[in-house]
Structure 1
Amino acid sequence: MSGKALLVTGGSRGIGAETARLAASRGWRVAVNYVSDQVSADAVVAEIEAGGGEAFAVQGDVGAEADVLAMFAAVDARFGRLDGLVNNAGIVDRKARVDEMSVARLERMMRVNIVGSFLCAREAVKRMSTRHGGQGGVIVNLSSAAARLGSPGWYVDYAASKGAIDTLTTGLALEVAGEGIRVCGVRPGIIATDIHASGGEPDRIEKVRAGLPMKREGRPEEIASAIVWLLSGEASYITGATLDVSGGR
């Protein structure tokens, strides 16, 4: 893996942070993207560097094209190449029914979760595709078990945005399969991260734990292990697939 460069969006906390740490331990040079929490992003970078790895933090809102372009330019300047992208950045909103959702909420959800992933994938393909003079690479998109379950009464908009990510994974994989790029997805289930609190439900895990098939939530490192495996040569014949890491949900 020596010299290979990876960008992890939303890499300052939760699944993104665990992915950045694990990838760095496997030899990836890692760009840790964050929107506003520079302290957490810098802490992830410091931990990677303390372990002998190479990383840097890069600010950017994936839902803003100018930020995405600046973020990829920073990766170009620092690493001079890109070999992997983890499309991890995403948001949820307050628990609501569809008949309670505002246009502003819907537009924000789709801009960050869908448009942001498309923009980052676009820029990654421009750098990695042999059609554009690249050397190939891997994109891993973060979906959710919600894409299959629909999340009724909680956030159908979030579930729908992740359904779009599943389609992006399938379509883009076929589009660039002959250009040296693999595109895969991971669908986490209920995972112990602060995304629940950001949606106004800090106790959501406690509410649903008894109904989970394994009677426990997943850990961020369990998702990171799947992501980093898909990035690796061990998954070299896998593209267009989305792996459920959802504890049976």
Structure 2
Amino acid sequence: MSSRTGKQPVILISGASRGIGAAIASQAAQAGFAVLVNFASDHEGATAVVRQVTEAGGVARACQGDVSDSAICAELVTAAAQLGELTAVVNNAAITGNAPGPFIGLEESVLRRTVEVNVIGTMLLSQAALRYWRAHPGPGRSIVNISSTATKAGSPSEWVHYAATKGAIDVFTRGLATETAAEGIRVNAVAPGMTQTRLHEDAGLPDRVARLSPTIPLGRAALPAEIADAVFWLLSEKSSYVTGAVIPVSGGR
């Protein structure tokens, strides 16, 4: 696969060492993208993702960095561009703070860190990509943000703070899409519902998926690959007339 300029297209994925991010990386490589795998601390997971891609004949590089730091975001974009032509950015990095429970008891440090990673990190990495694309114009550029259907009910008594950050992502997606449309840069979001990742176990809720699956019309949680499918539709030419959309992938919940 090559971009319209003849270079290999590159995708930069934040938080790609496991779960949804890793699934996106795998599908990207299969689609012919070179993959920049960003991770914050899970070096082992990121290395495994890169190994999977390269052993299948693809191109991938892992790059550690905190996306809530603007200098790091600029470095990630530069590193991605060294692999070919950067055409896609997926803002997947997000945390809950591993602190489920009523909002009244949430520690301020957890609240601030969740906002820094989920909201500011998404904004800063998007800004770094846009600045690079402004300096290196070309066709087919796209940003996909990972939101959540937790914005519907607000995740009461579990992760109100997390749900609120995802609401901010929805608004950011719509506004930025309007700003960048004239430059041919599309900005969309995918809002996963319950998904089979380690997020629940890491937060001390290993039974959460099983407990809530009966409330999902399709009767089960999503696989990470099913979320990646939606991301790749938004990155593809098949969605060339779609921008500013927030697409739920939630099994009807």
Which of these residues, 113, 120, 123, is aligned with residue 125 of structure 2? 120
Task: Report the Cα offset of residue 64 of structure 1.
Answer: 2.3
Q: Does 1:168 align with 2:172?
A: yes
Please give the alpha-carbon distance, in whole angstroms, between the structure 1 residues aligned to 2:28 and 2:176.
Answer: 23
Give ranges in structure 1 of 5+ residues lacking alignment.
Answer: none
Please give the alpha-carbon distance, in whole angstroms, between the structure 2 residues aligned to 1:195 and 1:80.
Answer: 32
Partner residue in 2 for 1:19: 24
Q: Does 1:135 align with 2:138?
A: yes
* CA-to-aligned-CA distance 1:135-160 (integer Å, 9 cap, x gap): 14000000000012210111110000
The answer to whether the Cα contact below 8 Å between 1:184 and 1:240 also exists between their aligned partners in 2 is yes
Please give the alpha-carbon distance, in whole angstroms, between the structure 2 residues aligned to 1:64 and 1:232.
Answer: 29
Q: Does 1:83 align with 2:87?
A: yes
Partner residue in 2 for 1:43: 48
The answer to whether the Cα contact below 8 Å between 1:92 and 1:198 also exists between their aligned partners in 2 is no
* CA-to-aligned-CA distance 1:102-143 (integer Å, 9 cap, x gap): 2211100100000000000001111224xx342140000000
Letter in 2 for 1:150: G
Q: Does 1:216 align with 2:228?
A: no
RMSD of Structure 2 on Structure 1 (CA):
1.2
Please give the alpha-carbon distance, in whole angstroms, between the structure 2 residues aligned to 1:112 and 1:71.
Answer: 15
The answer to whether the Cα contact below 8 Å between 1:147 and 1:163 also exists between their aligned partners in 2 is yes
Give 3-state SS (helix, strand or coil) of 1:239's partner: coil
The answer to whether the Cα contact below 8 Å between 2:90 and 2:144 also exists between their aligned partners in 1 is yes
The answer to whether the Cα contact below 8 Å between 1:24 and 1:30 also exists between their aligned partners in 2 is yes
Which of these residues, 177, 202, 206, is aligned with residue 202 of structure 1? 206
Which of these residues, 163, 168, 182, is aligned with residue 159 of structure 1? 163
Give 3-state SS (helix, strand or coil) of 1:82's partner: strand
Give 3-state SS (helix, strand or coil) of 1:56's partner: strand
Partner residue in 2 for 1:150: 154
Please give the alpha-carbon distance, in whole angstroms, between the structure 2 residues aligned to 1:243 and 1:86.
Answer: 14
Please give the alpha-carbon distance, in whole angstroms, between the structure 1 residues aligned to 2:29 and 2:169.
Answer: 25
Please give the alpha-carbon distance, in whole angstroms, between the structure 2 residues aligned to 1:18 and 1:106.
Answer: 28
Partner residue in 1 for 2:5: none
* CA-to-aligned-CA distance 1:193-212 (integer Å, 9 cap, x gap): 00112222122112212222
Task: Report the Cα offset of residue 52 of structure 1.
Answer: 1.6
Letter in 2 for 1:71: L
Moved more, 207-216 or 103-112: 207-216
Give ranges in structure 2 of 5+ residues lacking alignment.
Answer: 3-7
Partner residue in 2 for 1:100: 105
* Counterparts of residues 182-197 of structure 1 (less than 5 Å): 182-197=186-201
Task: Report the Cα offset of residue 80 of structure 1.
Answer: 4.9
* CA-to-aligned-CA distance 1:69-127 (integer Å, 9 cap, x gap): 22223223x22531100000000131121211222111001000000000000011112
Letter in 2 for 1:83: T
The answer to whether the Cα contact below 8 Å between 1:144 and 1:189 also exists between their aligned partners in 2 is yes
Partner residue in 2 for 1:72: 77
The answer to whether the Cα contact below 8 Å between 2:151 and 2:164 also exists between their aligned partners in 1 is yes
Percent identity of the aligned residues?
43
Paired residue total:
246
